[in-house]
Amino acid sequence: MGKKALVIDDNKNNLLLEKDLLEVAGFEVFEADNAADGIAIAKRENPDIILMDVRLPDMRGTDAARILRGDKETSDIPIVFVTSSVMAEGIEEIKDIPNSGFIGKPINTRTFVKQISQFIK
């Protein structure tokens, strides 16, 4: 059975790119372009991994991650922040979210899925 991945990103092109790469690798991909929808899907679908942008229209990706961590149903889902905020402040922001990872944009399409897979148990 293919693994479930949830991608939360407000930039439709990036969302599409990640979805393509994951689907090619056999993932069942769920999409959300804001945090609230993403959290709802996460609770409903219980994905194997969540790919999260940091700057989202309704809240910071890190705040969404904390909500997911605080909810029993989603607290164990690994979260990988795929973000353009590659400078020190951005990295500092996500540091204290447990069971999370970081991939800077622009992504390397040739290694992306491999990097993601490392965070799945």
Partner 1 sequence: MFWKRTATGSQEYSESIINTIREPLIALDQDLRVVSVSRSFYEVFKAKPEETVGQLIYDLGNKQWDIPKLRELLETILPQETTFDNYEVEHNFTTIGRRIMLLNARQIQRVLGKERIILLAIEDITERREIEHGLEKTRKELEVIKKSADEASEFAESVINTVREPLISLDQDLRVVAVSRSFYEFFQVKPEETVGQLIYDLGNKQWDIPKLRELLETILPQKTTFDNYEVEHDFATIGRRIMLLNARQIQRGLGKERIILLAIEDITERREIENGLEKTRKELAVIKKSADEASELAESIINTVREPLISLDQDLRVVAVSRSFYEFFQVKPEETVGQLIYDLGNKQWDIPKLRELLETILPQKTTFDNYEVEHDFATIGRRIMLLNARQIQRGLGKERIILLAIEDITERREIENGLEKAHEELKELAAELKRASRAKSEFLANMSHELRTPLNSINGFSEVLYDETFGPLNEKQKKYVNNVLTSGKHLLLLINQILDMAKVEAGKMKLSLSSLPMRSLLNEISLLVEDTVSKKKIEMSLEIAEDLPNIEVDELKVKEIIYNLLSNAVKFTPDGGKIGMRAKKARSEIEVVVWDTGVGIAPENMEKIFEGFFRVDTPYSRVTEGTGLGLPLSKKLVELHGGKFSVESKGLNRGTSVRFTLPIVSGKVV
List interacting residues with partner 1 (CB under 8 A).
11, 13-14, 17, 20-21, 24, 55, 84-90, 104-110
The reply to whether omega before 98 is within 30° of 0 (cis) is no
Residue 78 to residue 83: CA distance in whole angstroms: 16
Tokens of 11: 């930039």
Closest contact distance (angstroms) between CB of 111 and partner 1 is: 11
Report, in Å, the least distance between residue 75 CB and partner 1. Answer: 29
CB nearer to partner 1: give 9 or 74: 9
Residue closer to partner 1 (CB basis): 74 or 83: 83
Residues in the chain: 121
